[in-house]
Amino acid sequence: MSSERPGAGPASLATGLACPVPFTDTDRVLLGHGSGGTMTADLIARCFLPAFRNEYLARLDDQAVLPAAGGRLAFTTDAYVVTPLFFPGGDIGTLAVNGTVNDLAMAGARPLYLSAAFILEEGFPLGDLHRLVASARAAAERAGVLVVTGDTKVVERGKADGCFVVTSGLGVVEHAAAISSDRARPGDLVVLSGPIAAHGAAIMAARADLELDTPVVSDTAPLHRLVAAMLATGADLRCLRDPTRGGLATALNELADRSGVGIVLDERAIPVEEPVRGLLELLGLDPLYVANEGRLVAVVAARDADRLVARMREHPEGRQACIVGEVVADEDRLVVLETAVGGRRIVDRLAGDQLPRIC
Amino acid sequence: MSSERPGAGPASLATGLACPVPFTDTDRVLLGHGSGGTMTADLIARCFLPAFRNEYLARLDDQAVLPAAGGRLAFTTDAYVVTPLFFPGGDIGTLAVNGTVNDLAMAGARPLYLSAAFILEEGFPLGDLHRLVASARAAAERAGVLVVTGDTKVVERGKADGCFVVTSGLGVVEHAAAISSDRARPGDLVVLSGPIAAHGAAIMAARADLELDTPVVSDTAPLHRLVAAMLATGADLRCLRDPTRGGLATALNELADRSGVGIVLDERAIPVEEPVRGLLELLGLDPLYVANEGRLVAVVAARDADRLVARMREHPEGRQACIVGEVVADEDRLVVLETAVGGRRIVDRLAGDQLPRIC
């Protein structure tokens, strides 16, 4: 599909792209930017190519041809419809890169390449597009991945919501560990990489336009290097998840369900930063169900847990890693929270939608 | 991202999926279907898993882990925003699979795996979703590819247009041929696989709700087997394109531009089926700019052209293959049409958008 990356020819590739003509405040996305014709070529030459520049993308073909990868492949896709597009700690561009990198990381894969497809609403400010593409580029650089292919479509005003981004990711699995959501066993321990609920809280604060004494900032971050460090310990890692939509509660319910076990959580052990906790109390939201974008939860054999946590704490994304619970035998596959006041409550899956369009 | 494929647990995997509960006419997409919670799990279990069922998808992880591929990798992505979603000859599901398969095929790759991300508008009929997913499944089966990972997001009513689909594709390049848009050389010939403009014409007819004596049907089809047959001839294939958005004119302008050559087309040699020609005349559209979804254009060394065309004609997708033009030396990189009445006109790139949301 998409005879889209027609490029602007070798001449402009050589000259124009290094210093593209910036968009003005009044430049808007027009239907013609999705035509596959000269306006599409102009958008690619001025916005996407200079941001993501690499040898694969620069070929301007409808696909990237990449070197053979020496191992099993990890492949993932995610659609991003977050609103607002820009929020404290990131934007849809950051999120689209980190989220897809993290889905690869959760298989213990080394992320290599991303694709990026944009669905733009007619009238969307090109300056905003440029900003979020710049964020995606910065996130890709930080994560060490290349955006090697892409697509842009434009729909009429009122038929989308500014900008949706869909990223797919390709990585290589270079370890032999069997990480899977069905491998949790009674006696295993549950390890969390850091405080929860910051991403969802930041989005809600941005939506409500709340003025907070201490700003709440999204935790979006790439986690593949943390996972590589975890794998290098040799710990028997059973399951890995990034608790995004639906939060920690949903991620653990999935693991319990798939593995046929129960999980008991210690509420006092689960870190939630004070500003996040305060904001969520104000909004009446349970941090266990609020989305995270730079956190992971792991199930690990009990004998390896302390060693794993110690190693995670040496890593920037795991400084507050801690053991938060235990896997137990339970035919009903329940996730149970032992509360700070000594009670027990069942932490069910999210039924409906607590926080729509959080990612 | 997306703790999305929570699944319905081993029990329902074993029983419910083979015979999922059908949707009723009144079932609609709700925001909760994008929550990552139980409603998302239900949608996956009832709609996506039974359609695309395979060992990779069935793991319900946030990524698919795939066997190592023995060669260079081809990677592509495309967003589909076609309207209407259902049209003569196909629907957005068919298109999303074939289009991505074809982008892989244009690198001479063997398509292996697809991802599929759905952005759904609240209120979209679940029966329609089921139909287009069934079409995508049928197209994937026909093309011999597996849909191994996916994502679903839901946005509020009025924030999208029913259903957008983004497919990414992964294939393996098993030949040594150097196919690239910058390899056309003066003296090469331009080969077309069949009649043009049917897809765009079918979409326009569906939009206008035209009653035609002879129905115009989209040409959507997977082209990788045709390409494999072409490669097997040993012909020196220089460039391959599927002339989708922007049509044959845009595809050839891209090749001319990237290769630094001119192209001269023979209008009489370019096949357009009569009903398509009639409809486009009625609408005042030039078939050279109208989208195709099951056609390819190749640039090939002149000495190999006849042999290539003969082989293409043995293939279902190439029965009407023909030579339509020649590559010439031209510093201005123009595509020129020698018209049926003996004139010459420049076939420029599409400037704006002739046919928005054609794919």
pLDDT digits (tens, 9 = 90+) for A152-202: 999 999 999 999 999 999 999 998 888 999 999 999 999 999 999 999 999
Residue B97: its pLDDT value, please?
98
Residue from A100, A166, A181 to probe the interface with B (highest B Cβ count within 10 Å): A166
Asked if residue B280 lies in contact with residue B287, where contact means CB atoms within 8 angstroms, the answer is: yes
- Note whether B150 and A77 are within 8 A (CB): yes
Q: Which residues of B touch A44 (CB under 8 A)?
A: none
User: Terminal CA-to-CA distance of chain A, rounded, Å?
Assistant: 27
pLDDT digits (tens, 9 = 90+) for B24-77: 888 999 999 998 888 999 999 999 999 999 999 988 888 999 999 889 999 999
Is B330 an interface residue toward A (CB < 8 Å)?
Answer: no
The amino acid present at A357, given as its one-letter code, is R
Edge-to-edge strands of the sheet including B72-80?
A64-66, B72-80, B163-173, B110-121, B146-155
Of A173-187, A344-358, B299-313, least confident by mean pLDDT is A344-358
Write out pLDDT tens, residues A280-302.
999 899 999 999 999 999 999 99
**Contact status, residue B79 vs residue A119, Cβ threshold 8 Å:** yes
Average pLDDT over residues A9-30: 60
* pLDDT (tens digit per residue) in B50-61: 999 999 998 888
Q: Do B78 and A2 touch (CB under 8 A)?
A: yes
Pick from B73, B95, B58: nearest CA to B170 = B73
Which residue in the set A4, A10, A65 is minimally distant from B72, CB to CB?
A: A65
Q: How many Cβ pairs within 8 Å bridge chains A and B? A: 360
pLDDT in the model for residue B110: 96
Is residue B44 within 8 A of residue B141, CB to CB? The reply is no
Distance CA A263, CA A324 (A): 10
The per-residue pLDDT for range B211-246, each reduced to its tens digit, is: 778 889 999 999 999 999 999 999 999 999 999 999
Length of chain A in terms of residues written: 359
- What's the pLDDT band for A20 if we cut at 50, 70, 90? low
A32/B250 Cβ within 8 A? no
Please state the rounded mean pLDDT for residues B243-264: 96
Chain B touched by A102 (CB under 8 Å):
yes
d(CA A102, CA A265): 24
DSSP alpha helices (H): ranges in A23-90? 38-43, 49-52
Q: Is the CB of residue A296 less than 8 Å away from at least one CB of chain B?
A: no
What pLDDT score was predicted for residue A21?
67
A chain contacts of residue B244, beta-carbon cutoff 8 Å: 1-3, 36
Is A349's CB within 8 Å of B254's CB? Answer: no
A350/B contact by beta carbon, under 8 A:
yes
Rg of chain A in Å (alpha carbons): 22
How high is the pLDDT of residue A50?
93
Is the model's pLDDT at A13 over the cut of 50? no
- Chain A from 144 to 163: CB within 8 A of any B CB: 148-156, 158-161
Q: What is the DSSP string of B22-51?
A: PPPTT-B--GGGGSSSHHHHHHIIIIIHHH
Rounded Cα distance, A268 and A324, in Å: 8
Give φ, ψ of B289 to 5 degrees: -105, 0
End-to-end CA separation in angstroms for chain B: 27
Q: How confident is the model at residue B301 (pLDDT cuts 50, 70, 90)?
A: very high
Residue of A nearest to B97 (CA): A1
B135: contact with A, CB 8 A cutoff:
no
- Please say if the pLDDT value at position B8 is more than 60: no
**Amino acid (1-letter code) at residue A49:** L
Q: Which of residues 7-66 of B touch A (CB under 8 A)?
A: 7, 9-10, 30-32, 34-41, 59-66
ipTM of this complex prediction, to 2 decimal places: 0.93
The DSSP secondary-structure symbol of B125 reads: B
- pLDDT value of position A15: 33
Residue B21's pLDDT is: 66
Nearest-angstrom CA–CA distance, B118 and B164: 6
Q: B178 near A70, Cβ under 8 Å?
A: no
pLDDT band at B356 (very low <50, low <70, confident <90, very high): confident
Minimal Cβ distance to B76: which of A103, A115, A245: A115
Mean pLDDT of A77-102: 98
Distances from the Cα of B2 to the Cα of A103, A244, A246, A263, angstroms: 8, 6, 9, 21
Q: Is the pLDDT of residue B102 over 80?
A: yes
